[in-house]
Amino acid sequence: GAMPRYVEGTHRAFERLAGRDGKVLIAGFGSLLSERSSRHTFPELEDFRGGRVRGWRRVFAHVAPVFMERGIADMATGEVSSLSCEEHRWDSELVVSLFRVPCSPEAMDAFVEREHEFRFAAVPAFELCGKRRVDQPAILCTRWSDDEYRRERCAGEEEFHRRYGRHGVDRVWRDDILPCRVYLRHCVLAARSLGPEAHRSFLDSTFLGDRSTTIRQYLAADPGIMDELPPPSLANRYCG
């Protein structure tokens, strides 16, 4: 298949992807599969619906500082991972959410701040039913490498330390960690809320860092994850 089009995390780069009405299309693949969760993050979103992207798979393969700040990362067990998309076979398909948000400098700066560790890709998106191609590319948060992240997104070592180093994290993108339990449950509930096809896609097209264990297999081996309630202060944030 064609190489993905990667874009810089700047307002100017996102602006080129905006429609005539000045809005960009976002593809959600984890917690943003939930309309409720997406509206919490993007209060001005419109046209929320299911869709598809092709040539990607989901992987739990990076450390998220927000889980440490919120006290839901288990450093002892390595259950600290968040979720990204990475290039995969051209015939692989993910069910995602699609929604549009205003491409203002403030909104895009906030988006990059929240999704700081990702490489952004502009990808063709398709409607869930009928498979029609959407007339604007979707922005997808994809896997990066530590070298590129430090070089291209962080303004020097101080910024890396502020975001990661102070939590004792020296490597962000890694394959030897497991999903953060509370976050994984949140994503499964989010997928379920979008419908049976999204739920199935999440279970079967999302992998651990080993790239072979699916989330369906992982939950079958450790079903207690779905009973792992977030701390009361985060109950509204991590319930799908």
Q: What are the pLDDT digits (tens) for 65-96?
A: 999 999 999 999 999 999 999 999 999 999 99
Adjacent-strand bridge partners of 24: 101
Distance, in Å, from the CA atom of 157 to the CA atom of 169, rounded to the nearest integer, reads 13
Q: Which of 198, 218, 204 is nearest to 34 (CA)?
A: 198
Distance, in Å, from the CA atom of 16 to the CA atom of 40, rounded to the nearest integer, reads 26
**Tokens 């995969």 belong to which residue?**
88
Distance, in Å, from the CA atom of 139 to the CA atom of 118, rounded to the nearest integer, reads 11
Crossing angle (nearest 10°) for helices 196-204 and 181-194: 140
Q: How many CA atoms lie within 13 A of 200 on its CB side?
A: 4
pLDDT of residue 190: 98
3-state secondary structure of 106: helix
pLDDT of residue 46: 97
Largest CA distance in the chain: 49
3-state secondary structure of 137: coil
Token pair of 108 as six digits: 């895009």
Q: Is the Cα dihedral 182, 183, 185, 189 positive or negative?
A: positive
Low-confidence ranges of the chain (pLDDT < 70): 1-2
Q: Report in angstroms the alpha-carbon separations of 105 from 23, 25, 111, 186.
A: 12, 15, 10, 29
**pTM exceeding the 0.75 threshold for the entire prediction:** yes
pLDDT of residue 130: 81
Q: Look up residue 41 and give its DSSP letter.
A: H
pLDDT of residue 131: 82
pLDDT of residue 2: 59
Distance, in Å, from the CA atom of 203 to the CA atom of 215, rounded to the nearest integer, reads 5
pLDDT of residue 54: 96
How many CB atoms are located within 10 Å of the residue 193 CB?
16
Adjacent-strand bridge partners of 94: 53
